[in-house]
Chain A
Amino acid sequence: MTPKEKERLIRRIWIVITYVVLLTFALVYLMPFIRSLVASFMTWAQASRYPPEWIPNPFTLENYQKLFRLELFPRWIRNTALYAGLIVAGNVMFTSMAGYAFARLKFPGRDVIFSALLSLLMIPMFVTLVPNYIIIYKLGLIDNIFGLALLGITNVSSIFLMRQYFMSLSNEIFEAARLDGCGPIKAFFYIALPLAKPALGAVAVYQFLGSWNAFIGPLIFLRSPENFTLPVGLSFAFQRAMWTEYTPIIAGSLVASAPTIILFLVLNKYLIRGIVVTGGKG
C-alpha cells in the first residue's frame, strides 16, 4: 500500500466511524418518536404488550378517528393557531421595531435600557407569573386567548436577535439612505425591514414553535375547555380519563406536533440562520 492509499483508507474509516456514531445517536433520539408513530396505528392491547412489537397488527386508524370524534379537538386546534398567529405577528412587528431602535437610533439611555432588557432573560418565568396573572386578571382577560397572547407579544430574545441583525447590516447603506432623503422611519420601512427578512423569518419560526407547544402559560391563564390550546386540551382529556387506553393520546400528540415538524423541515435553514445571526458579529 502506498502512503497515499493508506491515508485514503484511514480517512474512509474515520468517515464510517463518524456515521455510525451519528446514526446511533440519531436513532436513540428518534426512537420515542418512531415508537409513538407506530403505536398510534395499533390497538391499545397490542401497544401495551411486552416485549414491544413494532409492526401494527391489526393496522388501525381507530385512534385518530376517536381523536377527531372528540368535540373540542377542532376548537383546540383553532385556538392554538390563533394564539400562535398572534404571538408570531406581535413579535415580528414589535421586536423588529425595538431591535431597529436599539441598533440604529441614538437616544438617551439606549444602552442602559437595552442592558435592563437583557437582564430580564435571567429572571425565570415563574417569578413574573403571579404579577402577570394579576395584571391579566385586572384587565379581565383571564380565560381569553388574547389575554394570554398579550404576555408573549414581544420577547427579549427576539429583540436581541433583531438588534444583532440590524447591527450587522452595513452602516453605509443607512447613511446612503439618509442622504437620499430617508428619515429614521422611512429607512426602517424601505431599507431595514426588507433587508431583515432572514432574521424576521427566524423570529417567526422560533415564536411559532414556542407558542404552538406552549403548555404552562395556557394551562394557567385559560380556564374553560373550549378555550384550551392543543397541548393543554390533550392533557386535560388525559386527566379526565376519557380513555382507558393511551393510543389516542399518542395519536393526538402526533397531530399536535405535525405543524411544528413540517415547519421545521421546511424552514430549518431560517432557524440555522437565526443561530448564525445571533452568534455572528455584533
Chain B
Amino acid sequence: MARVLLKNVTKKFGNVIAVNKLNLEIKDGEFMVLLGPSGCGKSTTLRMIAGLETPTEGEIWIGEQLVNEIDPTKRNTAMVFQSYALYPHMTVFGNIEFPLKMARVPKQERIKKVKEVAEFLGISELLNRKPSELSGGQQQRVALARALVREPEVFLLDEPLSNLDAKIRTQMRFELKKLLSYELKITTIYVTHDQVEAMTMADRIAVMNRGVLQQVGTPDEIFYKPSNTFVATFVGSPPMNLIEGEILKKDNKVIFDAGEFSLELPEDVGIEGKAVLGFRPQHVQIAKEEKAGFVRGKILGIEKLGVESYGHVTYGNLEIVIQLPEEVGSNITEVYWKPKEDRIYIFDSKTKKLVYG
C-alpha cells in the first residue's frame, strides 16, 4: 500500500508534449481514474509511474520514495495492459507464477499462491490452458491474477475493459471495483476514455486533455462542478449544451443574450459581458405551450434511448439537445424550454473556466 505523488511531471517525445507539468496525488488505497480523450497522455502518465517511460522533467514518488531512477522491476507496481500481454507460450499457471519465479519465491510457496489467487478470481479450472484457449474475459482475469499475485503496492490498469463486449464490461467494472477497492484496498490508477467507467468506478477522477490536467475531483464534483468547458462537455451524455452570448443587466434582471434568443438568468449572476452559458440536456424544463421565460424551439429530430428521449433544437448554427419528458410523443415539432435555474453554468468566454455554477 502506498500513495503516489506526481510533481510537475512532463514527458516529451521529440516535439510532442505528451504530459505537461502534471501535479497529482493518489492517496493510499484510493481508486483514481485518469480520464481523457485519445492521445491526451493517460497511458504515458501510467507508464511513467510503472517506470516504462522516464519523465523528461519532474518527480514521481511512490510511498516515501523518489522513484525516478528506480528500475521498473523494483518499484513494486503491477500493470494490466489493454491487450493483457499474457505470455502466449506459457499456461495460465505459468503466467501467474512468472513474477514469483522471477522474484525467486520457493516452488512450494509459488504453487500455493497461484492457487490462492486463481481461486480468488474464479479461474482455478483454467490453470492448465494456454492463453489462446481463453475467452477475452478469462484472459482479463488471468492478467489480473498475474498482477495481483505478487501483492503490489500500486495497481495500474490501462483500459483493461476496452477489449470486452458491453455486457461483460459492465459486469467486470463492478467486480474490479469491488475487488480492488473493497477487498484489497489497494492504491489503483485506472486509465480509461470511457466516462461511464470513470463515473461508476472512481473514488476520484483526474480529467486530462492534450497532456494537461483539467480537473481532479470525485465523480460528483466532476459532474456538478466542472472546472471548464472541456470537462463539462467530456463528462455526461449527451454532452452539456454550451451557448456563446452576452450577459446584460436590464431593469434589475440578468439577461443572457444568445442572438437568436435570450434567457433570464438568476439574479446572483454577477458577471456581465461575453460569456458561455452551459446546462445539461437533463436539466431543462419543458412546456408545450408558450410560457413566460421559456424559449420556443423547432425540433429537428428526436433520439429515443429507451425511457429517455432527447430532442435536437436548432437556432442557425447552434444546436441544443434537451431531454423530453416521457409522455411527449415522437411527432412533436415544437417545444418551449428553459434551463433549470439552479443547474446552469457560466464559463469565461476566453479562458473557458467556470465562473458561475
Partner-B contacts on A (CB < 8 A): 170, 172-173, 175-183, 186, 190-191, 194-195
Contacts and interface: CB of A to CB of B under 8 A. Distances in A.
Given A172-B81, A175-B52, A176-B146, 4 more contacts: A176-B85, A177-B98, A179-B52, A180-B102
A179 B73 contact: yes
Contacts of B87: 173, 176-177, 191
B72 interface: yes
Nearest to A196: B89
Contact of A170 (B77, B83, B89): B83
Interface string B73-110: 10001110111011111000000001100110000000
A173 B50 CA distance: 15
A92 B337 CA distance: 75
Nearest to A191: B87
A183 B72 CA distance: 10
Interface in B37-95: 50-52, 72-73, 77-79, 81-83, 85-89
Contacts, number: 52
Contact of B103 (A172, A181, A190, A195): A181
Contacts of A175: 52, 79, 81, 85
Nearest to A171: B85
A182 B102 contact: yes
A170 B83 CA distance: 9
A179 B103 contact: no
B316 to A, nearest CB: 48
A177 B77 CA distance: 13
Contacts of A183: 73
B81 A180 contact: no
Contacts of B77: 179
A180 B110 CA distance: 14
A270 to B, nearest CB: 17
A84 B128 CA distance: 38
Contacts of B146: 176, 180
B79 A179 contact: yes
What band does the interface of chain B fall in when counting residues whose beta carbon is under 8 Å from A?
A: 20 to 34
A70 to B, nearest CB: 47
Given A176-B79, A178-B72, A179-B72, A195 B102 contact: no
B91 to A, nearest CB: 12
Given A179-B79, A181-B99, A186-B102, A173 B85 contact: yes
Contacts of B85: 170, 172-173, 175-176
23 contacts: A170-B85, A172-B81, A172-B85, A173-B86, A176-B79, A176-B86, A176-B87, A176-B146, A177-B87, A178-B52, A178-B73, A179-B51, A179-B52, A179-B72, A179-B73, A180-B73, A180-B98, A180-B146, A182-B73, A186-B102, A190-B98, A195-B88, A195-B89
B52 A180 contact: no
B81 A176 contact: yes
A179 B83 CA distance: 15
Contact of B73 (A172, A181, A191): A181
Contacts of A179: 50-52, 72-73, 77-79
A180 to B, nearest CB: 4
A128 B146 CA distance: 51
A195 B44 CA distance: 27
A152 B82 CA distance: 43
Max chain B Cβ within 10 angstroms of own Cβ: one of A177, A180, A183, A190:
A180
Contacts of A194: 89
Interface in B102-156: 102-103, 146, 150
Contacts of A180: 73, 98-99, 102, 146, 150
Q: Which 7 A-B residue pairings sit nearest by Cβ, starting from the closest?
A: A181-B102, A172-B85, A176-B85, A180-B99, A194-B89, A172-B81, A181-B73
Interface in B186-200: none
Contacts of B73: 178-183
Contacts of B98: 177, 180, 190
Nearest to B99: A180
Contacts of B51: 179
A190 B72 CA distance: 18
A194 B103 CA distance: 20
A186 B98 CA distance: 11
A170 to B, nearest CB: 7
A178 B77 CA distance: 11
A172 B87 CA distance: 10
Max chain B Cβ within 10 angstroms of own Cβ: one of A170, A176, A178, A182:
A176
Contacts of A177: 87, 98
Contacts of B50: 179
A191 to B, nearest CB: 6
A126 B312 CA distance: 78
Contacts of A178: 52, 72-73
A177 B102 CA distance: 9
Contacts of B99: 180-181
A177 B85 CA distance: 9
A197 B73 CA distance: 26
A45 to B, nearest CB: 59
Nearest to A183: B73
A136 B88 CA distance: 44
A24 B127 CA distance: 53
A190 B103 CA distance: 14
A176 B98 CA distance: 11
Contacts of A170: 83, 85
Nearest to B146: A180
A172 B73 CA distance: 15
A210 to B, nearest CB: 28
A197 B280 CA distance: 57
Contacts of B81: 172, 175-176
